[in-house]
Structure 1
């Protein structure tokens, strides 16, 4: 889904007096009942303070800032984009790697030392049981203790390594979705300043070209990249929506990318069906064989451009379609020319 719904458009439920939740707070020298429960019957006379709290309800609008931003991201998953902190994560891997390397060298030194020790120590390399129970059998147990440390450190390292592998394969957010986050953070619905901390410039600033988004943003659910025509139509539709977005006091009217893609697909398919009809009609009308080959060349070029602009076909697929198209048209033109001469 594109565009951003207005926060707080859900109706709030009005609580009746019976739905209010009261919390009685005893004075510093509060009087307790015999069973330990606070005495609230005489709270007004003893100066007790009473605080009425509204129950936490899901339909209450979240305040501007991180709560409202999280709500928007949950409703429009394409807007859920975060930093992967590539430099810090890679530094962490480098430090873990260095720690494990040092532990590995220490372990190898101990293994070599024990292999040259007494009969009990020499068994450490050939029998795991003696290594595991070395301390119980009068040994230092230093080698096994180090193995347990390495085991934990390797688990931490492998977890970080696999996480980085997954994060590295996460796609970047589209420019369009990044702009939508910027517009949201600067919209009147989010207040005069949606975020005021150091994280306020993570997604960049719409009005400040000197504050671009961070380069290591990743999208949890990237927008599906459709054909160029659908992307162009969606971008034009967003321009109108952004105008409504900036007008105060108006509810935003969202739209679904699937609807735009559906109608653009209809247009593309109808236009594609006209290619063979138009080509055959022109070849039928044009009589000179040289002119017919010129028409075939022109339609082949138009077909290739059409497939490149309006579809997501690969270059090899476009070449194959254009070659097959030209071959069929050449056969049609040759048959028509032979019939005319006969």
Structure 2
């Protein structure tokens, strides 16, 4: 594969690299032009409507209250012809508005994904025109115009984001590629030889962080109770409560998509549970 076929294969393998230009400026300009055309046609239609009302013609005076008369028996009226032109423009304008609104909702690609994509394009494919070469490069205006169709970092907790941004690059750079080079095995990753890329499954990463969060959320309260049980000194117990409460709040913030008020409420509830163990005597 070469050229666009190779890029399409890369984007298919890694949805997070589905990076395109949104052409926001051109789309906005298109909307402005359509709006101007509609404004002009609207003025022309209003003038024709006023002429029909002032015509003292038996049929033309009925246009405002009858589509049958407006469309005419033998030939459509000028008012109807103008309205048909306006209708076509309105359909284009409404469609363009909806599409542009959707484009504005797309997020820009994460800088790490963009860096990986640009490096891959630089070393794995080539274009025959300067304009096509600069689609993902070029001036800052181009960079600000890029969007990703798959928000890899959206709707995930901070721990998963950290795995994506820090752990996976470190693992691939220092562990994975040397292991696969020595063993020749690609069982833990999806390798696309034609596209020249190695993929790490987003689903497996999310599943792993979810399991980690579940385990940690179970271990912290249980270990807190065990620690408080084996400590008799009251001051030490209070210090343990503070330490565990801070650790619990940090873990909740990192491993769950929780708002501040939810973290605050969970921390209070956890502290209340620990307080119940302060006067718990050790046998």
TM-score of the aligned structures, taking structure 2 as reference length: 0.80
1:327 CA drift (Å):
0.9
SS at structure 1 position matched to 2:147: strand
Counterpart of 2:65?
Answer: 126
Distance in 1 (alpha carbons) for counterparts of 2:97 and 2:38 = 13
1:186 matched to 2:122: yes
Stretch moving more, 66-75 or 210-219 = 210-219
1:279 matched to 2:210: no
Select the structure that is richer in helix: 2
Counterpart of 1:230?
Answer: 160
Does the 8 Å CA contact 2:17/2:117 hold for their aligned counterparts? yes
Distance in 1 (alpha carbons) for counterparts of 2:82 and 2:242 = 75
1:215 CA drift (Å):
0.9
CA RMSD of aligned residues (A): 2.9
Does the 8 Å CA contact 2:108/2:144 hold for their aligned counterparts? no
Does the 8 Å CA contact 1:185/1:195 hold for their aligned counterparts? no
Deviations 1:120-158 (A, max 9, x none): 32122222222211764xxx9321211111111111111
| Count of matched residue pairs | 262
Change beyond 3 A, Cα 1:303–1:121: same
Distance in 1 (alpha carbons) for counterparts of 2:170 and 2:276 = 48
1:213 CA drift (Å):
5.6
1:314 matched to 2:259: yes
Distance in 2 (alpha carbons) for counterparts of 1:135 and 1:232 = 71
Does the 8 Å CA contact 1:186/1:194 hold for their aligned counterparts? no
Does the 8 Å CA contact 1:241/1:254 hold for their aligned counterparts? no
Counterpart of 2:143?
Answer: 214
Pairing of 1:49-60 with structure 2 (within 5 A): none
Distance in 1 (alpha carbons) for counterparts of 2:275 and 2:173 = 50
Counterpart of 1:88?
Answer: 26
Deviations 1:22-43 (A, max 9, x none): xxxxxxxxxxxxxxxxxxxxxx
Unpaired runs of 5+ in structure 2? 182-190
Pairing of 1:43-54 with structure 2 (within 5 A): none
Does the 8 Å CA contact 2:228/2:240 hold for their aligned counterparts? yes
Aligned mate of 1:296, from 241, 244, 262: 241
Distance in 2 (alpha carbons) for counterparts of 1:103 and 1:296 = 73
1:219 CA drift (Å):
1.8
Does the 8 Å CA contact 2:35/2:93 hold for their aligned counterparts? yes
Pairing of 1:80-119 with structure 2 (within 5 A): 80-118=18-56, 119=58
Deviations 1:197-223 (A, max 9, x none): 213233238xxxx76862122222232
Aligned mate of 1:167, from 93, 100, 103: 103
Counterpart of 2:187?
Answer: none
Change beyond 3 A, Cα 1:76–1:158: same
1:195 CA drift (Å):
6.3
Distance in 2 (alpha carbons) for counterparts of 1:264 and 1:277 = 20
SS at structure 2 position matched to 1:223: coil
Unpaired runs of 5+ in structure 1? 1-61
TM-score of the aligned structures, taking structure 1 as reference length: 0.67
Does the 8 Å CA contact 1:83/1:216 hold for their aligned counterparts? yes
Does the 8 Å CA contact 1:182/1:203 hold for their aligned counterparts? yes
SS at structure 2 position matched to 1:236: helix
Does the 8 Å CA contact 2:249/2:267 hold for their aligned counterparts? yes
Stretch moving more, 171-180 or 236-245 = 236-245
1:325 CA drift (Å):
0.4
Higher Cα Rg, which structure:
1
1:268 CA drift (Å):
3.3
